[in-house]
Amino acid sequence: MVGFDADDTLWHSETYFKEAHAEFERILGGYVDLADAAVHDRLLATERENIKLFGYGAKGMALSMIETSIALTQSRISAADIHRLIDLGKSILQHKVELLPGVREAVQAVAAMHRVVLITKGDLFHQERKVADSGMADLFHRIEIVSEKDERSYARLFEEFGVEAAQFVMVGNSLKSDIAPVLALGGHGIHVPYPLVWALDRADIDPNHPRFASVEKAADVPATLSRWD
């Protein structure tokens, strides 16, 4: 069985979050010195703390932006600017799905050889909409939207799928969420890098790990699987 990540593996996602973060800093720039206030670091710290409450996605990001802006401005931020922060979250939720080059063909090629599943984390409503809008739902044996992608989640999914970890390959852009937990359980991982990586989604993997491979693009995944087969 082969699992595919969704955001930044099948379609663009982090680009929109980076644009929202840049706009957040422009808004805060009207109240504080961005360098002295360390706006980026403060927002990241707030997001890290809030993940356990809000989970991943645009809604949690918007709430963390509001919390950070109130703290940094000592409650001076206007209601109008708070509304702009809410709109940043809504803009991400309303973005059209833009598939990455060659992903549909890659998934189709893999599906011709193996059962394929989609495993993604994030806001349930948003992820469901993106999967539906992608036009790729019919390619997957199962679609799983989870709150966290860690060893516990993957172990549960392996049991539900009826597959041993050694018989599973995960394909994704995140070393932390897509690759490291699967390798730890005895599975395989294929890393397809995306140009942007969220700071909270970074990890280090031994490039010489026997069950790990890194490819330049999705189109290279079928050939990697064939070598492992």
The pLDDT score that the predictor gives to residue 169 is 98
Q: What is the mean pLDDT of the chain?
A: 94
The pLDDT score that the predictor gives to residue 71 is 95
Give tens-digit pLDDT for 160-213: 999 999 999 999 999 999 999 999 999 999 999 998 877 777 788 888 999 999
On whether the CB atoms of residues 11 and 184 are closer than 8 A, the answer is: no
On whether the CB atoms of residues 142 and 167 are closer than 8 A, the answer is: no
Q: Does domain 14-93 have CATH number 1.10.10.60?
A: no
Q: Which residues pair with 142 in a beta bridge?
A: 117
Residue 210, C-beta contacts closer than 8 angstroms, at least 6 positions apart? none
The pLDDT score that the predictor gives to residue 209 is 94
Q: Give the residue range(s) of CATH 3.40.50.1000 domains in the chain.
A: 2-12+98-228
Supply the pTM of this predicted model: 0.91
Which residue type does 141 have?
H
Q: How much of the chain, in percent, has pLDDT values that exceed 70?
A: 100
Q: Is the pLDDT of residue 40 over 90?
A: no
Give tens-digit pLDDT for 107-164: 999 999 999 999 999 899 999 999 999 999 999 999 999 999 999 999 999 999 999 9
Q: Which two tokens stand for residue 121?
A: 């984390």
The pLDDT score that the predictor gives to residue 74 is 95
On whether the CB atoms of residues 9 and 178 are closer than 8 A, the answer is: yes
Q: Is the pLDDT of residue 220 over 80?
A: yes
Q: Which two tokens stand for residue 10?
A: 């099948």
Q: Is the pLDDT of residue 229 over 90?
A: no
Topology of 2-12+98-228 in CATH? Rossmann fold (3.40.50)
Q: Give the residue range(s) of CATH 1.10.150.240 domains in the chain.
A: 14-93
d(CA 120, CA 147): 9
Q: Which two tokens stand for residue 79?
A: 């209601």
Give tens-digit pLDDT for 90-112: 999 999 999 999 999 999 999 99
